Amino acid sequence: MASHNPFTMEIFRHHRNAKNFILYDLAHKYEEYLASGLRGIEINRALCRFAGVDHELTFGARVHQDEEDRFQEEDTYRLQGGQLVLTTAGAAGSQANRVSSGEALALFVQDKFTIGRLSVTGGARFEDYELTREDYATSDPTRAAGPDRVRTLSDTVVVPGLSALYEISETTTLLAGVHRGFAIASPGTTNADVEESVNWEFGGRYSRGAFELEAIAYFNDYSNLLGTCTASSGGGCNVGDQFNGGEVDVQGLEVTAGWDAAAILDTDISIPLSVVYTLTDAEFQTSFESDYGPWGDVVDGDKLPYIADQQLTLSAGLEADRWGASLSGNYVSDARARAGQGGVPARELIEARWVADMAVWVDLTDRIRVRAKAENLFDEVYVASIDPAGLRPGKPFEFLMGVEVSF
C-alpha cells in the first residue's frame, strides 16, 4: 500500500538588524511525502523441535520505499505598530530545493524456546538499504537543469538481539538482554557515520496479589552517537544535518512499582497507585570539536545536553465499572543545555520542574465513552529549552475532551 501526504508549514524566527529593528523571518516549507510498503511474508508461531527442545519461530520479510520532496523559501518581516510588514520576499525554493528517497529490504527471524524455568528469545534483523538525496540549485525553482548534486548511501547490516527470563518462583522473575542498536545516517550529511551501539539490561520483576515491582539496570555502549539538527533543537545548523558524537556511555536504573489500594478495603472500586523512577547518567567518552551547537567543544567525561539525571512520575486513581479518574505528577531534575561537566552556568541551566495532569472518563453506554484530560493542571511555568532561539517555555495548561465509540 502507498500513501501520499502534501505538507506545508510556516516557522517564525526573529533577530535584530543594524538599526536595532526586530525582524521576523517566516520560512515557508512545502513538502510532499510518499511512502509505500509491501509485507512479503510473515509467519508467526511456526513450531519445531530441535535437540529435544520445542522452538517457536517467527520470521518474515518487508520491502519499503519512502520519498520526501522539500521546497522552501524564507520571507523577512518587520514588526511595526503591532503589525508584521514584509521587508524582503524570499525567492521560491531559495532555502531548500531537494528530493530525498529511500529503499529498503528487511528480513527478520526470531526463535523462542523454554528449558525448565528459563525462557530464551533470540533473533536477528537483516537490512539492505539505499538512500539518495538530489539537491537542486536554489535558483532553479522549476528544476529544469536537473540536480547539481546527488548523494547516495547504501549498506547491508545485521542487527542481532538476545534476551532471557528466569522464573525463580511464582512471584519473582529475573531478566537479562543484549541487543545491537543501529541508525542510518542521512544522505544529506556527508561527514556523519552510522550510529551503532550495544545495549545491555538486567533486572527483575516481583508480583504478588495487588502489588507489582520491577527494577531494570541498563547500559548503552555507543561506538558512535548521531546528533541531528531539528527545527526545535537549532544549533547553528541546517535542519536535517547530522553530526558524529563519537563514543558515548549511557547507564542508569528504572524502577516501577504499582499497588491497588483497594486490596485492603472492602470495595468494588479500584484504587491504582504507581511510581516510576528513572536514573540516567550519559557521558561522552572522547574529546572532539563539533559544529553542532548543543555539543560544541566536547571533553571526555562531559555530560550530554538535555538529559536529566532523575525523573519521577507518581499517579493515583479511582476506577469503577463505568467511570474512572486519575491524577499524576511528573518531576524532571535539572539538566544542562550544553555539553559539559561540573557546575552548570546559569545561562545553560534547564531548571527542575513538577507538572501535574488529571484525566477522567465515563461510559455513557457499552459502546460510547467520554474522556477529558487536563495537562499541566496548575499551569506551571517552566523552561523546556534554550534552543533554537533563547528561552522556550514548556507546554501551558491545556484541556482536551473527546468521545470514544466502539463498533
Q: For residue range 355-406, what is the model confidence (pLDDT) as tens digits? A: 999 999 999 999 999 999 999 999 999 999 998 878 899 999 999 999 999 9
Strand 242-244 to 248-260 pairing: unpaired
Average pLDDT along the chain: 88
**Largest alpha-carbon pair distance within the chain?**
83
DSSP 263: G
C-alpha cell at 159: 542487527
Give the pLDDT confidence score for residue 21 in this predicted structure: 47
Contact indicator for 68, 32 with CB cutoff of 8 Å: yes
pLDDT at 19 over 50: no
DSSP 270: B
- From the number of C-beta atoms within 10 Å of its C-beta (0-12, 13-18, 19+), residue 140 rates as middle
Beta-carbon contacts of 263 under 8 Å, excluding residues fewer than 6 positions away, are 209, 210, 211
Give the pLDDT confidence score for residue 312 in this predicted structure: 99
| Torsion angle (degrees, nearest 10) of CA 221, 225, 231, 234 | 110
Which residue has better confidence, 44 or 358?
A: 358
Q: How far apart are CA 74 and CA 91, in angstroms?
A: 8
pLDDT at 125 over 70: yes
Task: With cut-offs at 50, 70 and 90, classify the pLDDT of residue 25.
Answer: low
CATH number, span 168-405: 2.40.170.20
Q: How far apart are CA 91 and CA 95, in angstroms?
A: 8
Mean pLDDT of 44-49: 69
For residue 181, the Cα-to-chain-centroid distance in whole angstroms is: 14
Give the pLDDT confidence score for residue 109 in this predicted structure: 93
Beta-carbon contacts of 81 under 8 Å, excluding residues fewer than 6 positions away, are none
Domain locations in the chain as residue ranges: 168-405
pLDDT at 87 over 80: yes
Give the pLDDT confidence score for residue 39 in this predicted structure: 54
Of the candidates 26, 46, 29, 51, the one whose C-alpha atom is nearest the C-alpha of residue 96 is: 29
pLDDT at 162 over 90: yes
Q: For residue range 186-239, what is the model confidence (pLDDT) as tens digits? A: 877 667 899 999 999 999 999 999 999 999 999 999 999 999 888 777 767 777
pLDDT at 38 over 50: yes
For residue 241, the Cα-to-chain-centroid distance in whole angstroms is: 17
Contact indicator for 242, 220 with CB cutoff of 8 Å: no
